Amino acid sequence: MLYQKASLHSANVYERLALLSYLIFYGLRGYMFTDIFQYHEFFESINDFEFKWSYSEFNFEPGYVLCNIIIHYFGSSPFFFQFVWTLIDVIFLYFILKYETGPYFLLAFAFLVPLFDGIQINMLRNVKGILLFYFALRYIRERNFAKYFVCVLLGTLIHISTALLLPFYFFINRKMRLIMIGLSVLSIVLYFSDLSILNIVFTFLSAKMGGKVEDVATSYMNSTTGAGLTLGFLYRMFILMFLLLKYDRLGKYNLILLNLAILYICCNTAFNSILIMRDRLSSLFAIGIIGILPYIKDVIKQKPIKRVFVAVNIVCLLGFVYNPHSNIVAKYSNFLTGVEDRKSAESRINSYIVNHER
């Protein structure tokens, strides 16, 4: 409320405070989750003046390797790398949310924290490709395929999954309410079927392709878990209801983000049982839901329903923040107040994983 009523100068102050808080919280974090170790170890092993384009040697895309080498030239601490890497994210997030949400920037930023948290912490490579894609949405509206292609190509050089977003140029800015309803119904069916049909097809195809594809598919299948009426599922259905019922009105604000938001919910729902696939695919569309949620408030005219919408979001999003951070794998620490050494962090996380698998 203060932000919306503030002058331009005051609004800029609020925005800068939000960005600075985000940068300090995520950029100076300690060891959380599992992927951080491989990224820190890789950064420390870099030779400042040697660059090889061999993907197989590094197991990382060449663009990511090059970025590491450039950052390493200015500082060799993995926490310096992490801070600079997060600073780049913050700059992208500012321009994306400012462009896509306008006066709702700070509200969208508030949704960003719980809905983008896991992506920001555990997907250091993925997030750059995602942000480059969302930065390129303006070129879809301008029908400038060349600039869009360059952005997606740069993202692909950092994480290969960004290539999946290239075809979106041709259809994501179109009204397709019936298609979205169909995808929503299909995702709910897959959710309650525990992906039994999809598992069979996915396993069969990966076995035929063999090699690394089969190895990745096997690891994905090993991350399966049961579904049920969880808080996350109920919240997604609650939001999906508004997105589909108010599709035409929300589309007038931002049709691209609306379509991406529905795809985010569908991926989260359909692939819920395969955790890795769910996280990887839904992350591509995460900013869609973050950017469209602030507009729902404007299309709800009945005050009681608006209050329910706000209350449900507050309760569920607080739950989304608490749940992943309630175990020792996600124990938070900050470089400003001191972080544990790597061996202690690895021991803490490995002990949890071993006990959890039993």
47-104: per-residue pLDDT in tens? 654 555 544 455 788 899 889 989 998 998 989 999 999 999 999 999 999 999 988 9
pLDDT of residue 271: 86
CA distance 195 to 175: 29
More confident residue, 276 or 82: 82
Share of the chain above pLDDT 70, in %: 83
Angle between helix 303-322 and helix 231-245 axes, rounded to 10 deg: 140
Share of the chain above pLDDT 90, in %: 50
State the DSSP string of 315-343.
HHHHHHHHTTTSSGGG---BTTTB---HH
Identity of the highest mean pLDDT range in 243-247, 299-303, 317-321, 339-343: 243-247
Q: Which amino acid is at 231?
A: L
CA distance 122 to 130: 14
Alpha helices in the chain (DSSP H): 2-5, 8-27, 35-44, 55-58, 62-74, 78-101, 105-122, 126-135, 137-141, 145-158, 177-192, 196-209, 211-221, 231-245, 247-270, 275-283, 286-299, 303-322, 342-357
Q: How confident is the model at residue 122 (pLDDT cuts 50, 70, 90)?
A: confident
CA distance 96 to 75: 28
Which residue(s) pair with 29 in the sheet?
334
pLDDT of residue 217: 46
The answer to whether residue 120 scores a pLDDT higher than 80 is yes
| pTM check: above 0.85 | yes
Alpha helices in 193-246 (DSSP H): 196-209, 211-221, 231-245
Would you say 143 and 104 are in contact if contact means Cβ atoms under 8 Å apart?
no
The answer to whether residue 198 scores a pLDDT higher than 80 is no
pLDDT of residue 132: 97
